[in-house]
Structure 1
Amino acid sequence: MYEQFYGLKEKPFSLTPDTEYFFRYRGHQEALNVLLVALRNGEGFIHVSGEVGTGKTLLCRQLLKLLQDDCAIAYLPNPLLTPLELYQAINHDLQLDLPEDASLQQLCQGIFAELVRLRKMKRPLVVLIDEAQAMPHRSLEALRLLSNLETEKEKLLHIFFFAQPEFEQRLAEENLRQLRQRITFSYTLTTLHAGELSAYLNHRLQVAGFEGESLFTSAAVRLLHRASSGVPRVVNLLAHKAMLAGYGKGVRKIDRKLIVMAIKDTSGLSSTPGRTLKPYFREINMVMIVVIATLLVWGVLL
């Protein structure tokens, strides 16, 4: 709708996790480093956690993109699988020729045979599991048992969990202690820092084809960070709404007023402007108090 008005080829702040827009801010870059180092060290289980909207799915897809030339990949975006469906999904991604009615044992044997073949080719098998906090207990246990397919000296299978913080609570349960003990590397995603937000916005705009000067004013960026707490998904949502509002008003620059409009239009954030504006009022009040006190003092001296 507003793409042509702002000189864009597509919407820059879509909520769809598109790796073309992957921005290597500190949190995502550190997470990638941890994942790649863990894989290089031959670790079996790796866990990345993050709050809703911090970009776990985007990070997962970016990792898939980076590894696909050197590793065999099984990507499981839907974790709500029974043990049988889990093994079937892995077999499907590996393109193994097994009958549709193969048993759990047959599927396991097929995966093990493929692991041996891949080892000879020096191509590790990496299983990427998104939204792992929703995976049933029996399926998590099936994954742990699958990881037993290893040689005396090395892991043949590497499993990466991408999950919300609730997953850590599940791992703390007694019946998952064996799986918990096998997770040797973990990382918790951080949000965008205030100093990173402007670069994040400019990066997405440039990928979308924007060629002008910075579209968002510094005041808009500051308020956007406070309102979103640096959560990328909320940033995208508010930035998109602000650009819609700017287009509707025929405004070429996204200023603070447009961000306030976007906040008010967003469920769960409607009270944010009041909270974020309070510091300004406090600063003004403090200035007024100082001025009044100074005048009173001068009045006494005079």
Structure 2
Amino acid sequence: MRLVSHLVRGAARPGVLVPAPDGDRVLDLGPALPGRSVLDVLADPAVRAAAQAALDAARPADLLDRAAVRLLPPVHPGTVYAVGHNYVGHLGRDADPAQRPAHPNVFVKTPNTLGGPDDPVVLPPAAHEVDYEGEIAVVLARRAHRVPLDEAEACIGGLTLYDDVSARDWQRRTSQWALGKCADGFGPLGPAVVTTDEALPLAGRELTVERDGVVTARASTDDMVFSPAFLVHHLSQLLTLEPGDVIATGTPAKLPEAADAHRPLRHGDTVTVRVTGLGALTTTFVDPPASPGARTADEPTPTRTTTGGLP
């Protein structure tokens, strides 16, 4: 199933995203699962069975037009753990594939960064080098504490898509990346959590990132250095992962031509993260409403910036 959270009369309800040739549909699971959430479906076998039964019994008239539905983040993680340099070649365009990092490079995104698939990302007036990164995100369905590697996959409820938005100018100001990574809304998540029966194994899938319709990054999941299961295992050796927590598994390097032509994100730009079997997440970037502190056209903004290998 492709589980979504959507807004109905001011409240979040679980649903199922149903792909269709003429446009995706959404089945509202609220009537079948009153008071339940996407996380409940992922974590509780009985709730998941009820969701599957509702999907199996659904008629075309029960499905809502995707365009008429406001999607929210599918889960609300207590913590987003993000991984840098997790694809072969991300440390350098000509990096030797044999020279892989020995350990995952992990950082944390704070709760204020969370955004839904229908939410625009507002460009902070103080940040002039905002960049994007398309990633696959792991959603935990079970608590994980010192989990052996061969048991780690069982803690995963599903996979979704993530855009690790970064303010490179702020990221470079200190040895810690927090300010550059943790502006409000800098973590669009969704649109759907694809359950593990469809999402795993992850091998052989293509991840592409598009900016305004132009592919700027492309890689196979076979180039991922640390697998989702390994990341769950590794993190759980020191901290307890809770149901609903998210692990963003990293982005591949931009294609050479895209890196050469790169410029900071501007008002109206769109970024689409697309992965075989997991769907697509499209985010629009916008300037804030005009105010005394907002960026103006007179302020200098770099027209071309390189990321210097930053994740």
TM-score (norm 2): 0.20
Q: Which structure has the highest helix share of the two?
A: 1
Q: Which structure has the highest strand share of the two?
A: 2
TM-score (norm 1): 0.20
| Structure with the larger RCO, 1 or 2 (CA within 8 Å, 6+ apart) | 1
